[in-house]
Amino acid sequence: MIAFLVTFLLVFFIYLLLTAGSGSVGFWSASELIAGAGLGIVVAGITRKFLCRSDNYRMTNPLRFLLIPVYILGPFLIEVTVANIDVAMRVITGRIRPGILRVSSGMKTDLGIFMLANSITLTPGTITVDIDEETNDLFVHKINVTADEEGKTVTPARELFSFADIPAWIRRIAE
Amino acid sequence: MIAEILIVACLAVGSFFNILGIIGLLRFPDVYTRMHATTKMTTFGSVFTALAVIIYGVTAYLDSVNSQYAVLAIHTLIAAVALAFTNALGSHAIARGAHRAGIKPVQAVVDRLEEVGP
């Protein structure tokens, strides 16, 4: 039941975003509100088992939910900007030292692993290539491997980022 | 006036990073390093281009209170978020597929995934 409700609210919210500005009830017309609710019930009835597969409703806590935009616009944006300028310099100078590292994530949940892997992939200079599903270690292709990282068998995820402690932020949101 | 300067600045930054992404595609040696240039830097550039559209939409809405400009801003925001998500998932899928297909990273100093095996 909770799974149905969560999926319905998410679908309804996205429908409202897409049809904002259509009429006079707030931003929406009455027909769009009814159509959105009807579609939400149908879609939630079909797909509730997919969205809430883990039976874990920690993310329905609005505080955790609101932390996501703070995280994306704060520490993550700073990291991405710095890394972009770094890779831009490497494009111009051509100085690269690529390699695939084994990175220990320290995450326990699927959502934590998902967010960390995507954060690493979206940061220029690092791509998540594969995941060891037993130990939750990530294999990360890095464009500039330092001699220090080359020697280590496992690199902590914190050391891939220069300023903000991204893994701690993700742990705060997802675990 | 300030909004116009911001829009031009966002467009300039966006185009700059997109151009560098394309140069990186031509300069780098193999699929992994090329992906660093093409997928990440062009996303960053495109998000800045989208930001210019959002600023334009918001300022035009505040001027005219015509809801079509608000719709423009909201839809561009959704497009930027979708772009960021699909980019991360897509480049991970390409990298994983390339490594499974046996493509070795060129000039690599270390390859921990190769040591583990398929």
pLDDT at residue number A55: 67
Instruction: Please check whether residues A69 and A146 belong to one and the same domain.
Output: yes
Verify that A92 and A111 share a domain, yes or no.
yes
Q: Which helix (H) or strand (E) holds A131?
A: strand A126-132
Contact B89 A118 (CB under 8 A): yes
Q: Kindly state whether residues A12 and A76 are assigned to the same domain.
A: no
Structural domains of chain A, count: 2
Give me the domain span that covers residue A122.
Answer: 61-174
- Count of alpha carbons within 13 Å of B50, Cβ hemisphere only? 18
CB nearest A118 (choices: B88, B99, B105):
B88
Q: Do B36 and A122 touch (CB under 8 A)?
A: no
CB B36 within 8 A of CB A124: yes
Secondary structure (H, E, C), B40-83:
HHHHHHHHHHHHHHHHHHHHHHHHHCCHHHHHHHHHHHHHHHHH
Residue B117's pLDDT is: 61
Which of B28-60 are b and which e, b meaning 16 or more Cβ less than 10 Å from the residue's Cβ?
beebbbbbbbbbbbbbbbbbbbbbbbbbbbbbb
Residue of A nearest to B70 (CA): A21
CB nearest B109 (choices: A21, A87, A150):
A150
Whole-number Å distance between alpha carbons of B118 and B113 = 8
The residue among A112, A56, A129, A11 whose CA lies nearest residue B98 is: A129
- Which residue carries 């300069």 as its tokens? B27
- Enter the pTM of the model: 0.83
A14/A33 same-domain check: yes
Q: What is the mean pLDDT of chain A?
A: 83
* Residue A161 main-chain phi, psi, to 5 deg: -105, 150
Q: What pLDDT score does A48 carry?
A: 79
Binding-face residues of B in 14-73 toward A, CB within 8 A: 17, 20-21, 23-24, 27-28, 30, 32-33, 35-37, 40-41, 43-44, 67-68, 70-71
Q: Which helix H or strand E contains B20, and what residues bound it?
A: helix B2-27
Q: Which residues of chain A have a CB within 8 Å of the CB of B82?
A: none
From the list A125, A97, A100, the residue with the least C-alpha distance to B41 is: A125
- Per-residue exposure over A129-168, b if at least 16 CB sit within 10 Å of its own CB, e if not: bbbeeeebbbbbbbbbbeeebeeeeebebeebbeebebbe
- Kindly report each contact of residues B65-68 with a partner whose C-beta sits within 8 Å and lies 24 or more positions away, as own/partner: B67/A20, B67/A21, B67/A27, B68/A21
The answer on A121 and A96 residing in a single domain is yes
Query: Tens of pLDDT along A117-149?
Result: 888 888 888 888 888 888 888 888 888 888 877
Tokens of A40: 């939400």
In this structure, are A68 and A43 located in the same domain? no
CA dihedral A129, B76, B56, B70 (to 10 degrees): -150
B49 pLDDT band, cuts 50/70/90, is very high
| Close Cβ partners of B38 (under 8 Å, ≥ 6 residues apart) | B21, B22, B24, B25
A68-114 per-position pLDDT tens digit: 888 888 888 888 888 888 888 888 888 888 888 888 877 788 888 88
Same domain, A19 and A70: no
Is A70 found in the same domain as A10? no
User: Domain end: A54, A73, A97, which one?
Assistant: A54
Q: In this predicted model, which residue has the larger pLDDT, A81 or A159? A: A81
Does the complex come out with an ipTM higher than 0.90?
no
Query: Which chain B residue has its CA at the smallest distance from A24's CA?
Result: B67
